[in-house]
Amino acid sequence: MTAEQLEDNPFDGLAIDLPDLAAFQALHGGSSTVDRPYGDLAAGLRWVATVRGGRRSPFERIQAVVLAADHGIAAHRVSVYEPAVSTERTKAALSGASPLNLLAEKAGARLAILDVGLDAEPLGEPSAKRIRRGSGVLGAEDALTADEVAAAIGLGRSLADTYVDEGADLIVPCVVGVGSSTPAATLVAAVLGDEPAAMTGRGSGIDDNAWMRKCAAIRDGLRRARSRPADPAGMLAAAGGVDIAVTTGLVLQAAHRRTPVLLDGLTVLAAALVASEVSYAGTDWWWAPQAGDDPAETKATDALHLTDPAGHLKLRLGDGAGALAVVPLLQSLLTLAART
């Protein structure tokens, strides 16, 4: 795939095949009794068998990636945190001191940390792939230009290719960015045709005044996003963000490369929902291992038919944290399943 092709169509060449359903059916023999001992994680085991050609064995090389980016709307008090917290959390992850570091270690996952759009001075090598410094203010302007969307999607696709070529058999996208739930909820509303109030959650724990500001921002962003129907790249430009666009490319290319992805958190799920507008076949390669309580997150999970989570952890440690927390349990049960 050439740079010129990506500029013309960032989704060029994204043929996505279905998983090997025949192998899964041969393994299970049409009976649910195979998975009955595994309780709420049975759905995860069935998904693993489906995306791995019937094999139910532990993943051997798990790649987690933290995509750090700022959103212009964060300066308009839609979060309990100041925008600078995005950079602080990224620096903590780079020093090994964030919750994501510990969860990745316990999950046996490699952790890459990339500054794709922080509104801060470059953080050295992690900032080498930065698309731009922060995103535009939701509703007041486009979040990204068309060229920036293409570059972000291309980066996500390139990351997926790199990880798969290095042997990754499971990818876990994580996102760090204050205010990211606001553009994410806007995109979910744009894709599903819902109204702003129905999509506006409490996010970081905002009060009523912040909730109203967030609702107004989603309303204004929705006007821009709805002016570009049936155009996933256009919606990302109008009301997305660098982290969401990179994740969109990442999950699509992983599906193209027949590599499963765990989806966790509103920002990641919003990216997957936009990605499903490009190719719904990708959804078979994704699983949401834990459910949150944000209304937009629930709507996105339902629309993607990822409705059998392992639990309702409601972790607020960053998008991706819930998935990494579930991985050790999933790996343990896959070890048991492989021996039965």
Contact (Cβ atoms closer than 8 angstroms) between residue 112 and residue 94: no
Q: What is the pLDDT of residue 12?
A: 87
Q: In the predicted model, what is the mean pLDDT of residues 162-187? A: 96
Q: Is residue 178 part of a domain?
A: yes
Question: What whole-number percentage of the chain has pLDDT above 90?
Answer: 70
Q: Is residue 51 part of a domain?
A: yes
Q: What is the pLDDT of residue 18?
A: 85
- State the CB neighbour count (10 A cutoff) for residue 273: 25
Which of 13-22, 29-38, 110-119 has the least mean pLDDT? Answer: 29-38
Domain with 224 in it: 12-338
Query: What are the residues whose beta carbons fall under 8 Å from the beta carbon of 70, sequence distance 6 or more?
Result: 83, 86, 87, 117, 118, 119, 120, 133, 134, 135, 177, 178, 179
Q: Is residue 22 part of a domain?
A: yes
The pTM is what? 0.93
Distance of alpha carbon 134 from its chain centroid, rounded? 18
Q: In the predicted model, what is the mean pLDDT of residues 291-303? A: 90
**Is the per-residue pLDDT at 2 higher than 50?**
no
Mind spelling out the 3-state secondary structure of the chain? CCHHHHHHCCCCCCCCCCCCHHHHHHHHCCCHHHCHHHHHHHHHHHHHHHHCCCCCCCCCCEEEEEEEECEHHHHHCCCCCCCCHHHHHHHHHHCCCCHHHHHHHHHCEEEEEEEEECCCCCCCHHHCCCCCCCECCCCCCCCCCHHHHHHHHHHHHHHHHHHHHCCCCEEEEEEECCCCHHHHHHHHHHHHCCCHHHHCCCCCCCCHHHHHHHHHHHHHHHHHHHCCCCCHHHHHHHHCCHHHHHHHHHHHHHHHCCCCEECCCHHHHHHHHHHHHHCHHHHHHEECCECCCCHHHHHHHHHCCCCCCCECCCCCCCECHHHHHHHHHHHHHHHHHHCC
Mean pLDDT taken over the chain: 90
* Residue 283: CATH number of its domain: 3.40.50.10210
Q: Is residue 283 part of a domain?
A: yes
Q: Is residue 7 part of a domain?
A: no
**Is the per-residue pLDDT at 227 higher than 90?**
no
Burial category of 129 from C-beta neighbours within 10 Å (exposed 0-12, middle 13-18, buried 19 and up): middle
Report the length, in residues, of the chain.
340
**Is the per-residue pLDDT at 239 higher than 60?**
yes
Count of domains observed in the chain: 1
Q: Is residue 4 part of a domain?
A: no
Q: Is residue 2 part of a domain?
A: no
Contact (Cβ atoms closer than 8 angstroms) between residue 179 and residue 83: yes
CA dihedral sign, ordered 330, 178, 145, 142 = positive
Higher pLDDT, 239 or 26: 239
Confidence of residue 23 (pLDDT cuts 50, 70, 90): low
Q: What is the pLDDT of residue 308?
A: 82
Q: Is residue 133 part of a domain?
A: yes
